[in-house]
Amino acid sequence: MNRKTWGAALVILLLFAGLGAVLPSWVVFLLTLGLAKGLAVLSVVLLMRAGLVSFGQALFYAAGAYAAGFALRRAGIHEAFILLAIGALTAMGLAALIGLIITRYREIFFGMLSLAFSMAFYGVLVKAYDITGGTDGIGIPPPTVLTMPVAAGQLRLVTYYLALGCVAVMLYLIRRYAHSPLGYAARAVRENEVRVAYLGGSVQRAIYLTYVLAAGLCGLGGVLVAFTVGHIDPQLSYWTTSGEFVFVALLGGTSSVAAPLGSAVLYELIKSYAFKYAPYTWQMVLGLIMLVIIFFLPGGLWTLVERAQRPRQGQEVRG
């Protein structure tokens, strides 16, 4: 990563930070939701880069949200940063267990098995009424940030900055991961698994670690959603939630880490507008948009950004 990209990243971060102060509260809310979901979408993209399509990432999303919810309601832990850590670590712990089984599968079987685990978790959340509140879910009181309580009017803005901070840190870590031997191994697995094994690389290790790391991202996103919405329910673990993540991932494209975040934010905006202007047909609008993108931009919306960048790079070479 050269200095120019760092500069661009910093400018974008500051821009988003500034936007939070200027934009009306409901836009900030949508942005926060977009960023939180963006983390989950990023985790789907990480797995896609290793050649795996997960239809059950919602499991870790819900696990993170519920872990934070329990910590808040039952253990009396109110510190936002500790809650974020609890959510991410719970999701990673769960992934470390499930990963032992699921990383032996590929392609559609990986997808279906991940779907099965998330739906089983959904079943537990619905049925364990005494602990989880069943389909009613749990209300999440506002957390404290660095032991300071958050005023009711400030909650949205504070959550937004929390989400922005999380996203910035995570993007940095993902970048480190992608350029580490582990990240390269995962990408090679996608190209040709058997060859990686013949060359002496551990396919199993690369996929397992990627799976656990991806789950951490999802868990973090789940905690942020819990803070933002102030309420969690089993729907977080339902298959349509996982489907949405894959949907948004392909909407943006998988070639850049910025694409999933951008498309998650865009998706939230489209969704709320579609919901406002076409309350009965907003899903149809989303579906049609998706079909158009698949047929005309198979690499996702990010293809547009890449196209815009290409001539400029050509000039640099000539100069």
Partner 1 sequence: MNTLFIILADGLVYASWLFLIGVGLTLIFGVLRILNIAHGSLYALGAYVGAVLVIAYFQDPARWPAGSFFVLLTAAVLVGLVVGPPLERGLLRRMYGRDPALQLIVTYAVFLILEDLIKVLFGVNPYYAYKPFGLLGNVSLAGVSYPYYYLLLLLVAITAGALLWLFVNRTRFGRLVVAVIHDAEISTALGINLPRIYVTTFTLGVILAALGGAFTAPMIAVVPGIGVEVIVLAFAVIVIGGLGSPEGAALGALIVGLVRAAAVHLVPELELFIIYLVMAIVLLVRPQGLFAQAEVRRI
**Residues engaged in binding partner 1 (CB under 8 A):** 48, 53, 55, 101, 104-105, 107-109, 111-113, 115-117, 119-124, 126-127, 192-195, 198, 239-240, 243, 246-247, 250, 280-284, 286-288, 290-291, 294-295, 298
Q: Choose between 21 and 108: whose C-beta lies nearer to partner 1.
A: 108
What stretches of 254-301 show up as alpha helix (H) in DSSP? 258-277, 282-296
- 319, 154, 157, 174: which is closest to 258 by C-alpha? 174
User: Least distance to partner 1 from the beta carbon of 237, Å?
Assistant: 11
Q: Report the DSSP beta bridge partners of residue 145.
A: 148
- 83, 32, 37: which is closest to 58 by C-alpha? 37
User: Least distance to partner 1 from the beta carbon of 195, Å?
Assistant: 6
User: Least distance to partner 1 from the beta carbon of 151, Å?
Assistant: 39
What lies within 8 Å, CB to CB, of 149 at 6+ separation is 142
User: Least distance to partner 1 from the beta carbon of 65, Å?
Assistant: 19
Q: Choose between 1 and 101: whose C-beta lies nearer to partner 1.
A: 101
Q: Choose between 113 and 167: whose C-beta lies nearer to partner 1.
A: 113
Place of tokens 């840190």: 169
Q: Choose between 168 and 285: whose C-beta lies nearer to partner 1.
A: 285
Type of residue found at 314: G
Q: Report the DSSP beta bridge partners of residue 138.
A: 232
What lies within 8 Å, CB to CB, of 306 at 6+ separation is 255, 299
Q: Choose between 283 and 309: whose C-beta lies nearer to partner 1.
A: 283
